[in-house]
Amino acid sequence: MSHRLFIGIRPPAAIRDALIDLMEGVDGARWQDEDQLHLTLRFIGEVDSHQADELAGRLHAANCPSPELTVRGVGTFAKKGRAHTLWAGIENSPELQRLQRRVERYCVNAGLEPERRKYHPHITLARLNRSTGPLDPFLLRHQGLRLGPWQVEDYILYEAFLRPEGSFYEPVVRYPLEPWP
């Protein structure tokens, strides 16, 4: 059996609510719903049950201090000059970078190919396509966005299920992080 997996951090309810409140003003955007809001540490993709179990076991060893995170600003990812994703950024955090590097190391140790793309921490707000309306008004209105900070309590191994109405993410395993002294 195959599993489509990723590792992420779920923002607290207050942050999710504030992000949901931003989601308007871009015609044709496919806004994420509250259950989809997360910060990806590592996208895994399709793996078999054996490799999923191996990864889940290794991730228990990635305990490290809990990062404090702040949402800051908005932006887009584009391919060939066309925006496809609208996101809220995450302020640079050495603790988050450390956690992400550890997660990456355990993924490689579990037999996954190393991630070649530079890590860009963000929370996806919407998926965009050719019919999406202008983005500049939204980007200008929310360029000074700042939410938080909040202390991350855990990170999660998720299984993603792709459906016509949008992706559904099911938490598989939660990994607690060490609280700051």
CA angle 55/59/64 to nearest 5° reads: 165
Q: Given CA atoms 42, 45, 50, 52 in this order, what sign does their dihedral have?
A: positive
Taking residue 36's Cβ as centre, other Cβ atoms within 10 Å add up to 16
- Domain-embedded: residue 181: no
Residue 22: CATH number of its domain: 3.90.1140.10
Is 61 among the domain residues? yes
Structure tokens at 51: 């490799």
The tokens describing 14, both together, are 């207050």
The pLDDT score that the predictor gives to residue 65 is 82
127 in any annotated domain: yes
Distances (CA, A) of 123 to 27, 33, 128, 138, 179: 20, 12, 15, 16, 23
Q: Residue 65 is part of which domain span?
A: 2-176
Tens digit of each residue's pLDDT, the chain (181 residues): 899 999 999 999 999 999 999 999 999 999 999 999 999 999 999 999 999 999 999 998 766 788 999 999 999 999 998 999 999 999 989 999 999 999 999 999 999 999 999 999 999 999 999 999 999 999 999 999 999 999 999 999 999 998 877 788 999 999 999 876 5
Question: What's the confidence (pLDDT) of residue 180?
Answer: 60
For residue 62, the model assigns a pLDDT of 65
Domain count, the chain: 1
